[in-house]
Amino acid sequence: MILRRVLAQTGPTKVAEFLTHLAVDGHVSASTQNQALSALLFLFRDLLQVELPALDAARASKPKRLPVVLSRGEVQRLLAELDGRDLLIAQLLYGSGLRVMECLRLRIKDVRFDQHQIVVRDGKGEKDRVTVLPDGARGALEDQIARARRLHHDDLSDGFGAVALPYALARKYPHAEKEPGWQFVFPSRKLSRDPRSGNVRRHHLHDTTFSQSLRAAAQRAELTPAVHSHCLRHSFATHLLESGTDIRTVQDLLGHKDVSTTMIYTHVLNRPGIAVRSPLD
């Protein structure tokens, strides 16, 4: 009770001073300050039942970091150290500019071989977009979808085969969850129980499974940069710009809301406007 009274008397001014202290004197990162703010808001709102007004506090600056981009040669060395399913996922991240979760959540119906397209549903910002399907991954992708279909057929025979659907689609289309087109292209090897519904289903492959394979491949390829899955998406964008692809096209393929987000890849090129070269060269 004493602690409750002391906190209740603290007020927004002291909270703002504390957050300012973190940024100015503590030199904490923006994410650390935001975490402290979230904890304080929870404390006051849910424990003390006090709504804090807008806080006039200095904000920690968010560092502007350039993305890690692999050279074309480094990408080739990395892909050479992968095989099977992991190689296909890496090819789609680099060849289509997918985020790793966009790739793992890909449904069979959204791979359009005739149009050479991949439809990304509910990407970042809850947006759909269309990106290119690389010809170099077509054969492996067809084989992967065939395996996913066979696995789904076996699940149906065993009394399972229903997949989780986004939003309220399961109520709107009650039979869609067992249709082949809605199944994941990269299904998990094991069935699991959905903690929300209690239903036993086959989820998509977990992202840590691929991330571990990618890190091991990067070590075998002796790559100096710290390689993670998003490096391949960064490399997709940068290499397209290097080859002369219009930045608006790259923006659409990546699903960026604002072209200024895509512009960061022109800085990675170290060639302002893409066409400028060093006088030493």
The 8 Å CB, 24+ separation contacts for 236-239 are 236/93, 236/94, 236/95, 236/96, 236/97, 237/97, 237/262, 237/265, 238/69, 238/265, 238/268, 238/269, 239/72
CA angle 266, 269, 273 (to 5 degrees): 50
Burial label for 114, CB within 10 Å (0-12, 13-18, 19+), is exposed
3-state secondary structure of 119: strand
Active site (annotated) includes residue 124:
yes
Question: What is the rounded distance in angstroms from the CA atom of residue 69 to the CA atom of residue 128?
Answer: 25
274: left (phi over 0), alpha (psi -120 to 50) or beta: left
Kindly report the length of the chain. 281
Q: What are phi and psi of 175, to 5 degrees?
A: -100, -5
Clarify whether 203 is annotated catalytic.
Answer: no
Among candidate residues 112, 193, 230, 267, the one labeled active-site is 230
Catalytic-residue membership of 173: no
Active-site residue flag, 256:
yes
Sign of CA dihedral 38, 41, 43, 49: negative
Question: Of 99, 129, 152, 239, which is the active-site residue?
Answer: 99
**Among 152, 201, 233, 234, which one carries the catalytic annotation?**
233
User: Would you call 147 a catalytic residue per the annotation?
Assistant: no
The reply to whether 21 belongs to the active site is no
Q: Are 145 and 111 in contact (CB under 8 A)?
A: yes
Active site residues: 99, 124, 230, 233, 256, 265
